[in-house]
Amino acid sequence: MSTVPTVSVLVPVRGEGAFLAQALHSLQAQTCADWEALLCPLDAAARARLDAVEVQDPRFLLSATANADEASALASASRQARGEFLCVLDGDDLLEPKAMATLLTALEKQPDTGMAYSRHVLIDAGGAVLGPGPLCELPYSPEALLLDFMTGPLRLMRRDACMRSGGFASAHPDAGDYDLCLRLSETTTIAHVPLPLYRRRVHASSPQVLRWAERIEDSYLAFVEAVRRRGLDARFDVALEIDSWHVLQQTRPFGGAGNWR
């Protein structure tokens, strides 16, 4: 492995990091070993958890990002990162063994492409597969991305393309990933690798459950800004519409009724 890693993996960690060991093991199991991982605690509990963990692998580094929203933490870690490529592995989630190598190959074959992303599946707290990730099989285009967030959660970006777009910092922290992808779609080419290379864990305390309403609002604000940047506001009006409905269902293993409140 070279002294300077090819890929810098940013790993946001929240709470007590119940699934962190599994996430890091999936990173160590990559067929591509030329990486470093910057562990990004998002709160005091995560910082205490990481301080208490003895990690023998020198590729794991601790980033000083406690008590920051995720977008700010990733922005800080990306400035510390050394790799030519950047990606994010959430501390709750898992990579398939060939994930990094597959996306690297896609970008090497397309040197003008700034980002490659894959399909993903959803898993519950126990690791059981719940189904394919929503939207990830939709055809990508910069225009389609305005209405459907299909470019996530596993994305490998060229560092220069990421920084040229404005990087991870976002005025909409609950939708920082969507905001970044919108900006990237305006400044570089994006490639879709139609393989499920990532496992997104959904459980009772995951952000997509606890902060789903905030994410809807921030995603809309990021969308409005993208419409204005592209000059589309001169021809189109924008609006946020949320359907109202009542749901009665059996309790789910990743949060039950909490998914709907």
Q: What is the pLDDT of residue 245?
A: 64
Distance CA 204, CA 117 (A): 26
Confidence check: pLDDT of 223 > 90? yes
Q: What is the pLDDT of residue 244?
A: 65
The closest of 190, 166, 6, 186 to 113, measured between CA atoms, is: 190
> Which amino acid is residue 206, in one-letter code?
S
Burial of 259 (0-12, 13-18, 19+ CB in 10 A): middle
Distance CA 200, CA 211 (A): 16
Confidence check: pLDDT of 253 > 70? no
Q: What is the pLDDT of residue 249?
A: 62
Q: What is the pLDDT of residue 257?
A: 44
Distance CA 228, CA 219 (A): 14
The closest of 142, 220, 215, 207 to 181, measured between CA atoms, is: 142
Question: What percentage of the chain exceeds 90 in pLDDT?
Answer: 72
Confidence check: pLDDT of 2 > 70? no
pLDDT tens sequence across 90-135: 999 999 999 999 999 999 999 999 999 999 999 999 999 999 998 9
Tokens describing residue 204: 């009772």
Place of tokens 């920051």: 68
Confidence check: pLDDT of 248 > 80? no
Distance CA 86, CA 69 (A): 19
Confidence check: pLDDT of 261 > 80? no
Taking each helix axis as running N to C, give the angle between helix 176-187 and helix 70-80, from 0 to 180 degrees, rounded to the nearest 10.
50
Give the start-to-end residue ranges of the domains of the chain.
7-260
Question: What percentage of the chain exceeds 70 in pLDDT?
Answer: 91
How far CA 29 is from CA of 32, 34, 95, in Å, comes to: 9, 12, 9
Burial of 198 (0-12, 13-18, 19+ CB in 10 A): buried
Start-to-end CA span in the chain (Å) = 48
Distance CA 90, CA 110 (A): 26
Under a CB-based contact definition with an 8 Å cutoff, are residues 204 and 154 in contact? no
Distance CA 65, CA 21 (A): 19
Under a CB-based contact definition with an 8 Å cutoff, are residues 85 and 107 in contact? yes
> Is the model more confident about 246 or about 173?
173
Q: Which CATH number is 7-260's, of 3.40.30.10, 3.90.550.10, 3.30.300.30, 3.40.50.980?
A: 3.90.550.10
Report pTM: 0.90
Q: What is the pLDDT of residue 241?
A: 81
Q: What is the pLDDT of residue 1?
A: 45
Residue 79 CB: number of other CB atoms within 10 A?
A: 12
The closest of 111, 131, 113 to 121, measured between CA atoms, is: 131
pLDDT tier for residue 260 given thresholds of 50, 70 and 90 = very low
Which are the contacts of 235, defined by CB distance < 8 A and separation ≥ 6? Answer: none
Distance CA 156, CA 40 (A): 18
